[in-house]
Amino acid sequence: MTFKTTMAELRVIAFGHVGLLESYFDGSVDVDGNLALAFRAAMDARFDRNANKLVAIRNRWHEFRFSNKSIAQAKANARFHYALGERFYKLWLDRVGMMYTCAYWKEGTKTLEEAQVNKMDHVCRKVELKRGETFLDVGCGFGGLLFHAWEHYGALGTGINTTTEQVHELNEEIARRKLTDKIRVVDCDFREMPGQYDKLLSIGTLEHAGPDRLPQVVRAHADALKPGGLGVIHFIGHVGDFATEFYIRKHIFPGGWIPSLSQAIDWMERCGLEVLDVENLRRHYALTLDVWAERFDANWEAIHALDPARFDERFRRTWRTYLWSCAEMFRSKHSRTHLFQVTVSKGNVPADGYPMSRAFLYRQP
């Protein structure tokens, strides 16, 4: 590690690991060698990322400035990250559904593509998705789950997404596949979710609620389900009450906030959702991020060529840090940041309303 300026050294003194990372982003610190191993060592050392009081102040200011309280700010926050363009994400996400969420690496899985198909099947099975049923895909991204659910389960999907560019691209693809009577996508915030549905799949959206909006987000999920409807809420969650990593909020996901599992389940119960099952996929996310980071590095020249001004050296350093550090965070035995899938029903299920064991998830179709 090479410090090029005195200011970089002062940043580390003032802001700890955040100062070091920001100095690396702007090029005033260089790191030679394997970045992933550096993050692994930091996780093994169990450094306290919440100890720096100046960073805590910056984190509180960020929440005040970029809160998702208004729909307009929530949309701007989402665009900061998700409006980087389909061509950018296509270079390093899976080539089946372009899923930008944790995959499911069951035994024998060899590729990211297989793992993402596994994930889509896993959540569809959890809600017992059936032909002709309606379901809501909250934060539908590039639409991989919507297409998969129609093609393999015959379910009629509605997706919501706050990134206008993604909505336009997805609606064009739906029209190209002649599926406009089977799948629709709406440009709206979770607070504007249309209608009620038999099933709900919310994959990676709870993290965008914000500390004061968690009750509102969970309530919106509950309201979108018909009585007796089933849902899966898949989200990054803390084990315990911890601040969300500031550099991620500032440089990657403005307005992002990671709830604890207990906070999320508390509000699910308050909103009339029965928790049927909780599965922890922390280790699966480490494997997913490994592949994303490797593909990002391998395809950097192609990414840079898309837009040299946007995808510059600072962007490369920031995103390499994001992908590799998150991989090591989820891998670490000391991690307090996990990935949960919570299966819920709207109201208590009757005695014969849901399988009594998980065996149905693993039967061959």
Non-local CB neighbours of 105 within 8 Å, separated by 6+ positions: 115, 118, 283, 284, 287, 288
- Phi, psi of 350, deg, nearest 5: -70, 175
The C-alpha angle with vertex 340 and arms to 338 and 341, in degrees rounded to 5, equals: 165
Cα(300)–Cα(92) distance, integer angstroms? 9
Number of DSSP helices (H) and strands (E) in the chain, helices first: 14, 9
Pick left, alpha or beta for residue 29 (phi over 0 → left; psi -120 to 50 → alpha; otherwise beta). beta
Q: Is 326 considered catalytic here? A: yes
Whether residue 245 contacts residue 18, with contact meaning beta carbons closer than 8 Å, is answered with no
Q: Cα-Cα-Cα-Cα dihedral of 323, 324, 330, 331, to 10°?
A: 150
Q: Which of 124, 140, 271, 326 is catalytic?
A: 326
For 185, the enclosing helix (H) or strand (E) is strand 183-187
The C-alpha angle with vertex 203 and arms to 223 and 222, in degrees rounded to 5, equals: 10
Structure tokens at 280: 């922890």
Residues acting as catalytic residues? 326
